[in-house]
Structure 1
Amino acid sequence: MAKAIKQIKKKNHNQEEEQASAVASIVKEIANNSDAILTMIGIVKNLHEMGALDTISALIEKRNDVGVIAIQQINKPEMHKTIKNGINTFNFLGTIDPEQLRTMLFGITKGLERASESVGKKENQSLWQMGKAMRNPDTRATISMMMDFMQGMGEGMANVPTNKK
């Protein structure tokens, strides 16, 4: 039978061996991830060249002052309204069919182009020309769409619950 182990001898590494082992493992990781490290160095270099690192460093050094200013700005009533308006805008955009919005925005773009051409010419239409324009199918389609828009907007405004604070 084997003898029972009564004493365990711990192998003591000296500090130089531990450092050498740590350096070896770091060098191994650098070699295995050289592409990522080179990319990171390039990013840091670009940030340094454009002055972003100095800005970030200054922000970190003055983080308490910056935090106080940020909180003061966020606590203003105007900012509360801005945040609520932003949320409402995103909610509104979420309800619109993308194709409908695309069609409307394309029409608005064409209308703005036409209006800027008209302003550039500095020509005013006579009442007679405006009356004739009402016979144009594009004009009539736009006016019809605007009337439908105004009716729908009126219906929507009439049904909105008012909860002013």
Structure 2
Amino acid sequence: MAQPTTKIKRIEITEQDEKRRSLQELQESVADHQEALQSLLTLIQDLESSGVLEILHALLNSKEKVASIALEQILKPSVLNTIKNAMTAMGVVSKIDPEQLGVLMEAFIAGLHQGQKSLESNQRVSMFNLVKAFRDPGVNRALTFMLGLLQGLGQKL
């Protein structure tokens, strides 16, 4: 029959042993991530030499003042209106089909270029030119689009 265990010898880790183990783990981690740490040190040096680190340090030291000023600025009615308008615009843009918007923007840019060329030519527009323009397929397509746009606007107003 086995004898009962009466004495349990516990291994006690001293504070110095714990520090030694932690230091060894840290050294292994530094060795494993040498390139990343080197890049981080370069980044910190660049921030220091450009003065950004000093600015960040000053911001952190006066964070209550900075937060107070930022909150005061944000709560101004004009800023609140801007934020509301931006959110509304984002909501509207999210409803537009991306392909349709892309085509519309390309057409708009092409129209800007053509309009600039027309302005640079310094030609006057006569009634004959207007009637002739109505027969142009591109102008007709744009007018059809604009009329449809105006009808849609009118229905929602």
| Aligned equivalents of 1:48, 1:121: Cα separation in 2 | 55
Q: Could you tell me how far 1:2 is from its partner in structure 2?
A: 4.2
CA displacement, residues 115-144 of structure 1 (integer Å, 9 cap, x when unaligned): 122233333323322222121111111011
Partner of 1:26: 26
Partner of 1:84: 84
Partner of 1:60: 60
Partner of 1:141: 141
CA displacement, residues 41-93 of structure 1 (integer Å, 9 cap, x when unaligned): 23333333443222222211221111111111111111221111111111111
| Residue 4 in structure 1 maps to residue 27 in structure 2 | no
| Aligned equivalents of 2:15, 2:98: Cα separation in 1 | 68
| Residue 116 in structure 1 maps to residue 116 in structure 2 | yes
Which letter does structure 1 place at the counterpart of 2:30? I
Partner of 1:51: 51
Q: Could you tell me how far 1:104 is from its partner in structure 2?
A: 0.6
Q: Identify, as 1 or 2, the structure richer in helix.
A: 2
The Cα RMSD (Å) is: 2.2
Partner of 1:107: 107
| Aligned equivalents of 1:33, 1:105: Cα separation in 2 | 47
Q: Name which of structure 1's ranges 95-104 and 128-137 shifts more when overlaid on structure 2.
A: 128-137
Which letter does structure 1 place at the counterpart of 2:14? H
Q: Mark the CA change 1:37 to 1:114 in structure 2 (over 3 Å): closer, same or farther.
A: same
Give 3-state SS (helix, strand or coil) of 1:140's partner: helix
Q: Mark the CA change 1:59 to 1:120 in structure 2 (over 3 Å): closer, same or farther.
A: farther
Q: Mark the CA change 1:51 to 1:124 in structure 2 (over 3 Å): closer, same or farther.
A: farther
TM-score (norm 1): 0.81
Matched residues, number: 155
| Aligned equivalents of 2:107, 2:89: Cα separation in 1 | 21
| Aligned equivalents of 1:120, 1:112: Cα separation in 2 | 12
Q: Name which of structure 1's ranges 44-53 and 141-150 shifts more when overlaid on structure 2.
A: 44-53
Q: Which runs of 5+ in 1 are unaligned?
A: 158-165
| Aligned equivalents of 2:54, 2:116: Cα separation in 1 | 44
Q: Could you tell me how far 1:12 is from its partner in structure 2?
A: 5.9
Percentage of matched positions with identical amino acids: 25
Partner of 2:14: 13
Q: Which runs of 5+ in 2 are unaligned?
A: none
